[in-house]
Every structure is written in C-alpha cells, then in structure tokens.
Amino acid sequence: MSALPPVAMDFSAPPVLERVQQRSLILGAALLLVCAVGWRMDSAQFFRSWLVGYVLWIGVSLGCMAILMLQHLSGGGWGLVIRRVLEAASSTRVLALMAVLFLPILAGMDRLYLWTDVARVAGDHVLEHKAPYLNSGFFLARTAFYFLIWLGLAHLLFRSSAEQDVTGEARVRARLQFLSAPGLLLYGLTVTFASVDWVMSLDPHWFSTIYGILFMGGQGVSAMCFVIGISVLLVQHQPMSAVIRPTHIHDLGKLLLAFVMLWAYFAFSQFLIIWSGNLPDEIPWYLHRLHGPWQVIALALVLFHFALPFLVLLSRDLKRHARKLAVVAVAVLAMRFVDLYWLVMPNFPEAAHGIRVHWLDLAAPVAIGGIWMAAFAWHLRGRPLVPLFDPRLKQALEQDDAAH
C-alpha cells in the first residue's frame, strides 16, 4: 500500500497558472498571425527568425528533460520541488507541439540551407562530399527519428511518474533510474545530431566536433533559467510557498552557476581549438563573428552570458533571494536568445553588411514561446505540484526545516 503524502494539504495548481495559460495562448496566437503577415512580406526573414526562436524553446524542453533524468539518477531535494516543472516542460504534449512548430522550418528548407540547392551542390566538392548526409530526404528522416526518441522518453518518464503518484512503490523509482541512464545517452546523441542538422549545417563548409556539447550546455542554462523563473512565480502562492524554501532556491542558483560555467567552458574550448588550429576551413566562421558589428554581440556574450552572471551568482545571499535570482535568470535567458542569434544569423549573405535586426526576430520567438508556455501551463495544472508519494520528499522537507 502507498504511504500518506508528506504534508496534509492540497497540492493542486494555484489560479495563477490558469491566467498564465490563457494570457500566453492569447499572446502566442496573436503573434502567430503577425508572423504569418511577416511571412507574406519577407519569407526568407521569417524562416530565419523562426529558426532562432524555435531552437531557443526546444532547448528549454530538452534541457528540462535532461535535468529531470539527472535528478532521477542523483536524487536531491532540489529536484523534488521542481520535478513537476521539469516534467511539464518536457512532456509529450509540449514536445508534440514543438514537432508541429517545426513544420515552418521544413517548409523553408530551401531558404535556409545551401545544401538543398542541387545545382550548387553539383559545383561544390565539399557539398558533394557531404551530400550523402546533407540531403532533404535524410534530413527529414533524422528529424522524425529525433522526435520519436524525445517523445518516447517523455512518455516513459511520465508514465512511471504517474504510476508513482498512485502506488508510491520503490520499484517505480528504480524504473525511473533505469530509464534515465540510457535516456541521458540518447539525449546526448540526438541533440548533437540535431544541432548539426538544424544550425551547424547553415554553413555546410564549416564544422566543429564540440558543437553538440556546446548546445547541450546552452540547453542546460536555458532550462535552469526557466525553472527558476517558474519556481519563483509559484513560491509566491500556495501550496508551493510552503514547500520551496530558501535552501531550495539556493540550490537552483548553484545549479544555474554550474551550467553557466559549463557553457562558458565549452564555448571557450571550441574557440581555442579552432583559433589555435587556424585552418582555412574553420577560422572564417569566427573571423566573421569577431569583426565589425558582430564583434559587439560577441563581447556582450562574454560579459552578460558569463562574466557578470558568474560574479553575481557567487553571492550566497543573492542565490537565497528568490526575486533577485529570478531577475538574473531572466537576463541570462535573454542572453541565450542573443547567443543563438549570433550563431544563426551571420550564416546568411545579408550579415556581410552588418547586423540587420528585423521585427520578426522578436515576434517569432515570442509567438513560439507563448504557445509553448500555454501548453506547459496546461500540463502543469493537471497534476499535484509535487510528487507526493516519492519517499524522499518528506525527508527533503524535514531536512530543510532542521536547517532553519
């Protein structure tokens, strides 16, 4: 028989989540119509802006899935109080929505990827060499495979988590651990290939062997920023105001610091390897992004994606102050968008004349984010906000009380 919940109170979602769902849906739907107008006006710009926004939000979902599986393997009170957020962000509903939202990228492949131009491939020995991999049919097949893996993992994790809510049996926890180990491996492999397919192949003459790892680090940063923002929202309302304590907020801040450092390490490693190698096939990618107007964005990433968050997050007091930590998280998430913009936009010919910020560059990410957020809130409202029958929850809360 299952044990009683650790706290005798209602853990259903507060009304604020319903308002978030409604407002996000309205905003997302309205901006989708605006993006449709933008597509009619400038289809090439629409597809580029859509790609940046899409990669940002799919990164939040996949980063949450990776952190969820990491928590199942490692344990820890920090993961128990945010598990429902992680599950909702990487749920089958959200990932199925992201599969649908990928359709504009498929529709605009010929406007995004040089290797879809058969005539250009025929006259380029590099593209001819890569043609067995970089071709439309194989691209579609790989993308379908990625989503099948992600949806399959989400389904299995959710099914076991739902069973734990009913039975509370130890074997369910063991099953979640068993699923998470190979799940993290599949996550790493699929994200690596997806980052190569969707972003790195925008410049098919350039390659980096650390590119997939850099994207995984960025997804971890994006996911932690989002989780912190939602957790701070929830902690202002019952029932989570009685669950999420300063020590949990502190743990989330430490995790964000760790992911920021990890992303910076991967980004600098890629830069150092390519710059020191100074090979004609590799170095132009950085030269283009480190000169002219793009240099300003590169410096901004160094300062505001790493240096300033690193220094600020060293403060113990800030990491225990929910609202201050939320401000830092939102700022870092904004820099994640800037980083993806810096990775994607210089691949197109217009970038040679400088940075050309278009209104679609903001409309598309907000449109995708609004629809994504509505699906997330819908899923989060459907279950108790904590895993009541996880035997570690009561211990985590008791330890936190003892710390005070």
For 9-65, the DSSP string reads S--SPPHHHHHHHHHHHHHHHHHHHHHHHHHHH-HHHHHHHHHHHHHHHHHHHHHHH
**Alpha-carbon span 364 to 325, nearest angstrom:** 27
Where b means 16+ CB within 10 Å and e means fewer, 193-219 reads bbbbbbbbbbbbebebebbbbbbbbbb
Please give the residue range of the domain that contains residue 255.
Answer: 15-392
pLDDT value at residue 167: 75
49 belongs to a structural domain: yes
State the CB neighbour count (10 A cutoff) for residue 154: 22
Mean pLDDT of 233-252: 90
* 256 or 5, which is more confident: 256
Q: Is the pLDDT of residue 210 over 80?
A: yes
CA distance 245 to 259: 22
- Give mean pLDDT, residues 352-367: 91
CA distance 368 to 400: 37
Whether residue 5 is contained in a domain is answered as no
Between 65 and 172, whose confidence is greater? Answer: 65
Residues 229, 330 contacting (CB under 8 angstroms): yes
3-state helix, strand and coil shares in percent for the chain, rounded to the nearest 5: 80, 0, 20
1 located within any domain: no
pLDDT digits (tens, 9 = 90+) for 330-340: 999 999 999 99
How many of the other CB atoms lie within 10 Å of CB of 249? 25
The confidence score (pLDDT) of residue 1 equals: 34
- Say what angle helices 15-41 and 360-380 make with each other, to 10 degrees: 150
Return mean pLDDT, the chain.
91
- C-beta of residue 223 within 8 angstroms of C-beta of residue 89: yes
> ∠ at Cα 228 (159, 259), nearest 5°?
90
- Model pLDDT for residues 159-186, shown as the tens digit of each residue: 998 888 777 677 888 889 999 999 999 9
C-beta separation of 256 from 313 below 8 A: yes
Q: Is 120 inside any structural domain? A: yes
Contact status, residue 88 vs residue 376, Cβ threshold 8 Å: yes
In which element (H, E) is residue 270 found? helix 246-277
Q: Which of 143, 28, 156, 25 is nearest to 90 (CA)?
A: 156
**CA 238 – CA 226 distance, rounded (Å):** 20
Residues constituting the chain? 404
Tokens linked to 213: 């790892």
Q: Using alpha carbons, list the distances in angstroms from residue 187 to 72, 175, 403.
A: 15, 18, 36
The most distant pair of C-alpha atoms in the chain lies apart, rounded to whole Å, by 70
| Position 216 confidence tier, pLDDT thresholds 50, 70, 90 | very high
Of residues 154, 193, 162, the one with CA closest to residue 62: 154
Terminal alpha carbon distance of the chain: 33
* Number of structural domains found in the chain: 1
List, in order, residues 6 or more apart from 104 with CB less than 8 Å away.
46, 47, 50
Tell me, yes or no, whether 2 lies in a domain.
Answer: no
The position carrying tokens 């769902």 is 21
Does the model's pTM come out above 0.85? yes
- In a domain? residue 401: no
Q: Is 3 within the bounds of a domain?
A: no
| Mean pLDDT, range 300-310, rounded to an integer | 97
Amino acid at 343: L
Q: What was the pLDDT predicted at 395?
A: 66
- Give the separation between CA 24 and CA 12, rounded to whole angstroms: 20
118, part of any domain = yes
Q: Rounded to the nearest 10 degrees, how much is the dihedral formed by the CA atoms of 231, 232, 236, 238?
A: 10
The span from the CA of 89 to the CA of 277, in Å, is 40
Dist CA 271 CA 256 (whole Å): 22
